[in-house]
Amino acid sequence: MEHSIVVESLKKIYRTAERDTGILPAVKSLLRPSFTEVTAVDGISFALGQGEMVGFIGPNGAGKTTTLKMLSGLLFPTSGNILAAGFKPWERKPSYLKRIGFLMGNKSQLTWDNTIGDSFFILKEIYGVNDLEYKRRLEELTGLLELESLLNRLARTLSLGERARCELASVLIHNPDILYLDEPTLGLDVSMQLRLREFIREYNRKYGTTVIITSHYMSDIVSLCPRVILINKGKLSYDGALSGLGDKVAPFRLIKFRLPASQLGGAEMPMPEQAALEAELIDSLDSERTYRVRKEHILPFAAYLLEKSITDLTIEDPPMEAVIDEVYRKGIADMPHDETEQVLQASAKPDGRLA
């Protein structure tokens, strides 16, 4: 697969001012300011193929947005290499900037006192899109994102959902090859989230645009991204299929069942060697019980339950939110990066430098 983005040992260290609280330290810091270094991104490597859609996940402050900013050229890396669409982003060459779109969750491309139509036209001119192509794209975006009624309205008069749709359209006017989406559905209601997700999926399928999404809404990631990259404390903790993340982090299943009527009101049904099977009762409501059981213990546990005349036995994967919560709280230990390493080696020049 042709690589759209190759990142190698990327590192970003911020130098930030710090001082103790109080007046004296404040005065002292005027004369002798002290600084501390914060490692926001700590040597991450990965590669994305053309047309891939990847979710960047991680807790607050993990380094997701910093990585996106380095990929887009807004931040200069402390060390490491990036090659995106054949460019080094930090050089910020216009030919690179014309090939990417960066939707920043907290920053707007729209001009407050201009109509949406004017804002789009200005972007069209800045990116040098020809009239015919612009007309075609505007029609398409207007149709897909239902913007028809918004084109003549001032940006400042739009609701949050309307603005989000317009912001998304604004980064697509020039049909970028790579799309960086930083919290694209932030603050939107469920219906609007679904519509934007559907649009992003369709857009990626139609144009083969490489998409990197960061989102704290797991539904965004689950519904859009076959692959996730998990960053925690600046380090890459996981790179692979979303389903694999659950197996890696939470190698357990949820067993749900109903107790037989004879058990209700009496003593709780004894569980077989519960400690040995590492089964944990996590929910109990009337006759319903939910146990968390390690995968390798599912069969003996289920077999025991079936002998006890329980009903409605189901075995489920834990919800993705629970998996992610587990990751954020505990991290992932000794995650191998074999896949990433292989990709990087394949894209390296004979001298070892990235192509």
CA 233, 238, 244, 249 torsion-angle sign: negative
Where do the DSSP E strands lie in the chain? 3-18, 34-49, 53-57, 79-84, 100-104, 178-182, 210-214, 227-232, 235-241, 252-258, 280-285, 288-294, 311-316
Nearest distance from C-beta of residue 32 to another protein, angstroms: 18
SS3 assignment, position 239? strand
Part in contact with another protein (CB under 8 A); list of ranges 115-123, 218-226, 230-238, 279-287: 115-123
Task: Tell me if 73 contacts another protein by CB under 8 A.
Answer: yes
Among 93, 136, 206, 330, binds another protein (CB under 8 A): 93
Task: Tell me if 313 contacts another protein by CB under 8 A.
Answer: no
Among 75, 141, 164, 173, binds another protein (CB under 8 A): 75
Task: Tell me if 308 contacts another protein by CB under 8 A.
Answer: no
Among 11, 14, 274, 278, binds another protein (CB under 8 A): 14
Nearest distance from C-beta of residue 91 to another protein, angstroms: 5
Task: Tell me if 26 contacts another protein by CB under 8 A.
Answer: no
Cα–Cα distances (Å) from 45 to 51, 57, 63, 295, 342, in that order, read 19, 15, 13, 31, 11
Question: Tokens standing for 243?
Answer: 């389903």
Q: Which CB sits closer to another protein, 157 or 311?
A: 157
Part in contact with another protein (CB under 8 A); list of ranges 105-113, 207-215, 235-243, 263-271: 105-113
DSSP alpha helices (H): ranges in 225-297? 242-249, 274-277
Among 1, 26, 27, 126, binds another protein (CB under 8 A): 126
Task: Tell me if 113 contacts another protein by CB under 8 A.
Answer: yes
Task: Tell me if 86 contacts another protein by CB under 8 A.
Answer: no
- Looking at the DSSP bridge assignments, the partners of residue 110 are none
Task: Tell me if 353 contacts another protein by CB under 8 A.
Answer: no
Task: Tell me if 151 contacts another protein by CB under 8 A.
Answer: no
The answer to whether 292 touches 280, Cβ cutoff 8 Å, is yes
Which amino acid belongs to residue 175?
A: N
132, 137, 140, 143 alpha-carbon torsion, rounded to 10° = -100
Part in contact with another protein (CB under 8 A); list of ranges 87-95, 144-152, 259-267, 326-334: 87-95
Nearest distance from C-beta of residue 55 to another protein, angstroms: 22
Task: Tell me if 21 contacts another protein by CB under 8 A.
Answer: no
Task: Tell me if 98 contacts another protein by CB under 8 A.
Answer: yes
Cα–Cα distances (Å) from 335 to 11, 58, 249, in that order, read 19, 15, 10
Question: Tokens standing for 49?
Answer: 């193929």
Question: Tokens standing for 175?
Answer: 């049909």
Nearest distance from C-beta of residue 224 to another protein, angstroms: 23
Count the neighbouring beta carbons within 10 Å of the beta carbon of residue 59: 18
Q: Which CB sits closer to another protein, 30 or 267?
A: 30
Among 11, 28, 81, 118, binds another protein (CB under 8 A): 118
SS3 assignment, position 331? coil
Part in contact with another protein (CB under 8 A); list of ranges 53-61, 103-111, 210-218, 252-260: 103-111
The answer to whether 73 touches 244, Cβ cutoff 8 Å, is no
Q: Which residues bind another protein (CB under 8 A)?
A: 14-15, 66, 69, 72-76, 90-95, 97-98, 102, 104, 107-109, 111-115, 118-119, 121-122, 124-128, 154
